[in-house]
Amino acid sequence: MKIAVCVKQVVSREWHLRVADSKTWIRDQDASYELNEPDAYALEEGLRLKEKHGGEVIVVSAGPARVSQVIREALARGADRAIHVEVEGLVDADAFVTAEALAAALSDERCDLVLTGLQSDDSGFAQTGVLLAEKLGMPHGTIIMDVQVADGGLRVKRELEGGWFQWIAMPLPALLAIQSGINQLRYATLKGIMAAKKKDVKKIAAPSVAPRQQILNLYFPEKKKATQLISGSPAEAARELVRRLRDEARVIQ
């Protein structure tokens, strides 16, 4: 199987976030970065499928030159080669622009399976994989918790709401958005790190695509106290509390 795994570099969760002067993104010039966690699970699933069914795993990432950090990490974990869509203006791009960039990298690869993380830790759109599937003309499944390859197709387990799951059959080629926790992550060994230095990383230019969404204002939630005292007898206070929870806070029905 030829498996492509899309990975993203995001700001480390331990880094102290600060809003940029433009108020449209974070000030990330001195930030520390890491591999997006849901993408790490997608990579691990791709590596396990390769070990079971043979083939190769291609890592694809879009972003500035610093993205090479997570690309090398993915290669050190076991991916065979990589494609880097190198473009500076993709840091705060919407899902449409990102999907176009990834599609440009994968359009000629003719992969059997494309894996993405369910969503990114920074933007959290959870739409890039879906849009990429549309661009590639592939059927797709989201929130995937198990992947089985059999009889030239797929059988996948999707996580639904309320603790329910759904098994569906899909043809190949296909795209799957992987849920975090699907497997246990591996880490790069010293041998893998050394081998990654010799693996091929192909760089391509990103297509020119106009964004469809724009961040107008980014800010931290305001912390303020808004304590309200409810007077009256216990019965009256209880009725008023229920009314406020139902009609104002809308946390009960």
Q: Is residue 237 part of a domain?
A: yes
- Does 162 share its domain with 250? no
- Does 22 share its domain with 104? yes
- For each of the chain's 253 residues, which pLDDT tens digit applies? 999 999 999 988 887 778 887 877 777 777 888 999 999 999 999 999 999 999 999 999 998 889 999 999 999 999 999 999 988 777 777 889 899 999 999 998 999 999 999 998 888 889 999 999 999 999 999 999 999 998 889 999 999 988 899 999 999 999 999 999 999 999 899 999 999 999 999 999 888 877 788 888 888 887 777 788 898 999 999 999 999 888 888 888 7
Nearest to 129 by CA among 95, 78, 81: 95
pLDDT recorded at residue 150: 86
- Does 231 share its domain with 199? no
CATH of the domain at 121: 3.40.50.620
- Does 242 share its domain with 145? no
User: How many residues appear in the chain?
Assistant: 253
pLDDT recorded at residue 124: 85
Q: Is residue 177 part of a domain?
A: yes
- Does 69 share its domain with 122? yes
What is the bridge-based pairing of β-strands 140-150 and 153-159?
antiparallel
CA 211 – CA 195 distance, rounded (Å): 38
CA 173 – CA 153 distance, rounded (Å): 8
- Does 229 share its domain with 189? no
- Does 6 share its domain with 116? yes
Find the domain containing 252 and state its range. 223-253
Q: Do 213 and 127 touch, CB atoms closer than 8 A?
A: no
Specify the pTM: 0.83
Nearest to 85 by CA among 195, 197, 179, 209: 209
CA 145 – CA 180 distance, rounded (Å): 8
- Does 182 share its domain with 248? no
HEC string for the chain: CEEEEECCEEECCCCCCCECCCCCCECCCCCCEEECHHHHHHHHHHHHHHHHHCCEEEEEEEECHHHHHHHHHHHHHCCCEEEEEECHHHCCCCHHHHHHHHHHHHCCCCCCEEEEECCCCCCCCCCHHHHHHHHHCCCEEEEEEEEEEECCEEEEEEECHHHCEEEEEEECCEEEEECCCCCCCCCCCHHHHHHHCCCCEEEEECCCCCCCCCCCCCCCCCCCCCCCCCCCCHHHHHHHHHHHHHHHCCCCC
- Does 246 share its domain with 198? no
